[in-house]
């Protein structure tokens, strides 16, 4: 029941905001309602610790013969870190909104609250049927938001292609459920068939842009801070949570090394582009790809705790950086603590990320992790393009800073308590090598031209290069669509009856050839 209470608080706050907006209420009152709903939801989430693990299910749909699995949710040591991270991110977005007066839009706040509620339901979904319903809702919200935020047929077409890849990911999740049902074990993720494990990884990897490597959305989208950050990170978390349920017995497959290789390539590409991005918002899609690829690698190596750790780092470390639109000395120093969370050093948030040996792939994973850490440090120290809080009232500065500090503090809190991945020593040698390499990259970035940030239009060109393969598939689809339309126009024209009679005659002739 606590799961429903926490998500309902966010949904209810969003509904009240919409009502206040339509009644032309004061924006300050709307903001207080939004912050109150987000704070109550975060407090209720920490009340889960007294009862975990626990489950909550809705009444079964009818007919029971068709809907075998109920809508089921579960709170445990794997879902709680995601829930806490999403709740904290939602509240931080509302707290930092005071520093963005041009974006004080109750509709955006309501959207962030609603996305937070959907995110809580997604990461606690305990069977494929429940998760695919929530994925479908998130995808529809993304489709509408993206179409409204882009201009031109080319950008609209890219949005549709992105939506199609996500739908294909839902199809893979549905197929995993079918495979599990065929083996007689599909009630929940705890009893799902090992034969469905790689399909779960493929479904999550496809939606995240990792398997195969592609950009699930444009880096030039106008969905920037605030609602844009909520949308990108919560959408990624809804897919990353699936990796925590991959059965260990499903990894003994000939496809596992191949999928690991693809994930390592995605991690290196995401880390490299993130390091050289001109600013953190343009580099945000590469941050998501890089961290998501590390989570996929952890899941494929038989370490679901590592996948959860990287997912929480993606939300908390990335959220603190993407919401930081103000230049402040102490704030910049606080942001640098996120590098500790990414280092996988003992007792950090990602301390349990590498509990299993990676073998041949270990040097490449270390390099990818170092690229992500060094890129984060460079973006956190970037003063250009940020406003100042000096002219703002004291209360506004305090509220804004509390939103960023909340995300930083939760990184350390999850590193020491609250779930199975806390207080882990992990692969400390791996972490030490990644940290040393990251320090070398930070030192070398201003000194080596190849490591310097590239211009924004080169980021777009790189994105186009990655997606060129998928555009070729789209051209093939267009050609097949043209052939189909030509055939349809032929059959529907004046000669359609003659063509129909000809096909019927040929069909009858074919059938009569086999008769004695």
**How long, in residues, is the chain?**
516
Q: How many CB atoms lie within 10 A of CB 437?
A: 17
- Looking at 3-7, 26-30, 76-80, 434-438, which range is the least confident one? 26-30
259-282 in b/e form (b: 16+ CB < 10 A) is bbebbbbbbbbbbbbbbbbbebbb
Interval 110-119 mean pLDDT? 92
Residue 390's alpha-carbon distances to 99, 154, 398, in angstroms, are 11, 42, 12
Q: Note whether 138 and 122 are within 8 A (CB).
A: yes
Q: Smallest Cα–Cα separation from 195: which of 178, 171, 211, 212?
A: 178
Q: How confident is the model at residue 478 (pLDDT cuts 50, 70, 90)?
A: low
Note whether 72 and 3 are within 8 A (CB). no
Task: Provide the whole-model pTM.
Answer: 0.87
Element (H, E) at 339: helix 337-343
Q: Which residue has the tokens 């909550």?
A: 56
E strand residue ranges, 39-178: 54-57, 72-75
Which residues fall within 8 angstroms of residue 94, CB to CB, at 6 or more apart? Answer: 31, 34, 35, 38, 109, 112, 113, 403
DSSP letter at 125 equals B
pLDDT band at 457 (very low <50, low <70, confident <90, very high): very low
* pLDDT recorded at residue 282: 86
d(C-alpha 342, C-alpha 336), whole Å? 10
Q: What is the pLDDT of residue 70?
A: 81
Q: Let me know if 298 is exposed, middle or buried by CB neighbors in 10 A (0-12, 13-18, 19+).
A: buried
The count of other CB atoms within 10 Å of the CB of residue 98 is: 20
Model pLDDT for residues 334-377, shown as the tens digit of each residue: 889 999 999 999 999 999 898 887 888 999 999 999 999 999 99
Q: How far is residue 186's CA from residue 206's CA, in Å, rounded to a whole number? A: 22
- Tell me the chain's radius of gyration from C-alpha atoms: 25
pLDDT per position as a tens digit, 126-171: 988 899 999 999 988 888 877 777 676 767 777 777 788 888 889 9
Q: Rounded CA gap, 94 and 113, in Å?
A: 9
- The mean pLDDT value for 15-40 works out to 84
Q: Given this model, what pLDDT does residue 67 score?
A: 65
**Least confident interval from 61-70, 102-111, 226-235, 287-296:** 61-70
Task: Over range 456-463, report the average pLDDT.
Answer: 49
Taking residues 240-245, report their average pLDDT.
92
CA–CA dist 258, 277 (Å, integer): 29
Q: Is the peptide bond before 432 cis (omega within 30 degrees of 0)?
A: no
Check: CB of residue 109 under 8 Å from CB of residue 27.
no
Distance CA 9, CA 194 (A): 36
pLDDT level of residue 481 (50, 70, 90 thresholds): low
CB 387 within 8 A of CB 287: no
């Amino acid at each position: 029941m606590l799961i429903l209470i926490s998500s309902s608080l966010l949904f209810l706050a969003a509904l009240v905001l919409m009502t206040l907006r339509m009644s032309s209420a004061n924006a300050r009152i709307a903001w207080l309602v939004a912050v109150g709903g987000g704070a109550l939801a975060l407090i209720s989430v920490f009340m889960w610790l007294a009862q975990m693990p626990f489950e909550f299910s809705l009444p079964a749909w009818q007919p029971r013969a068709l809907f075998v699995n109920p809508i089921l949710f579960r709170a445990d040591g794997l879902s709680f870190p995601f829930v806490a991270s999403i709740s904290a991110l939602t509240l931080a977005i509302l707290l930092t909104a005071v520093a963005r007066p041009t974006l004080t839009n109750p509709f955006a706040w309501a959207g962030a609250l609603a996305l937070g509620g959907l995110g809580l339901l997604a990461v606690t979904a305990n069977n494929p049927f429940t998760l695919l319903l929530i994925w479908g809702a998130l995808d529809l919200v993304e489709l509408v938001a993206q179409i409204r935020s882009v201009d031109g047929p080319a950008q609209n077409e890219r949005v549709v292609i992105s939506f199609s890849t996500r739908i294909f990911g839902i199809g893979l999740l549905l197929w995993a459920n079918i495979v599990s049902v065929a083996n007689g074990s599909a009630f929940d993720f705890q009893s799902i068939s090992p034969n469905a494990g790689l399909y779960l990884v493929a479904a999550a990897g496809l939606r995240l842009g990792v398997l195969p490597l592609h950009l699930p959305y444009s880096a030039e989208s106008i969905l920037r801070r605030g609602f844009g950050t909520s949308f990108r990170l919560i959408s990624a978390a809804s897919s990353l949570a699936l990796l925590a349920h991959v059965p260990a017995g499903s990894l003994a497959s000939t496809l596992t090394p191949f999928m690991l290789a693809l994930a390592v390539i995605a991690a290196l590409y995401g880390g490299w582009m993130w390091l050289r991005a001109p600013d953190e918002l343009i580099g945000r899609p590469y941050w998501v790809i890089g961290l998501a690829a590390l989570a996929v690698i952890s899941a494929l190596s038989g370490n679901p705790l590592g996948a959860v750790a990287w997912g929480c780092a993606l939300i908390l470390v990335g959220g603190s950086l993407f919401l930081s639109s103000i230049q402040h000395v102490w704030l910049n120093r606080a942001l640098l603590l996120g590098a500790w969370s990414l280092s996988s050093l003992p007792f950090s948030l990602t301390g349990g990320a590498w509990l299993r040996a990676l073998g041949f792939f270990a040097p490449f994973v270390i390099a990818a992790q170092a690229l992500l850490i060094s890129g984060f440090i460079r973006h956190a120290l970037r003063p250009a393009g940020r406003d100042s809080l000096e002219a703002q009232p004291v209360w506004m500065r305090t509220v804004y800073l509390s939103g960023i500090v909340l995300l930083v503090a939760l990184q350390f809190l999850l590193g020491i308590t609250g779930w199975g991945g806390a207080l882990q020593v992990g692969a400390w040698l791996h972490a030490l090598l990644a940290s040393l390499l990251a320090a070398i990259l930070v030192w070398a970035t201003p000194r080596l031209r190849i490591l310097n940030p590239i211009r924004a239009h080169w980021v777009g060109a790189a994105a186009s290069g990655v997606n060129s393969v998928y555009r070729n598939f789209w051209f093939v689809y267009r050609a097949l669509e043209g052939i189909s339309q030509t055939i349809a126009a032929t059959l529907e024209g004046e000669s359609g009856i003659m063509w129909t009679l000809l096909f019927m005659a040929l069909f009858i002739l074919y059938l009569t050839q086999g008769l004695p």
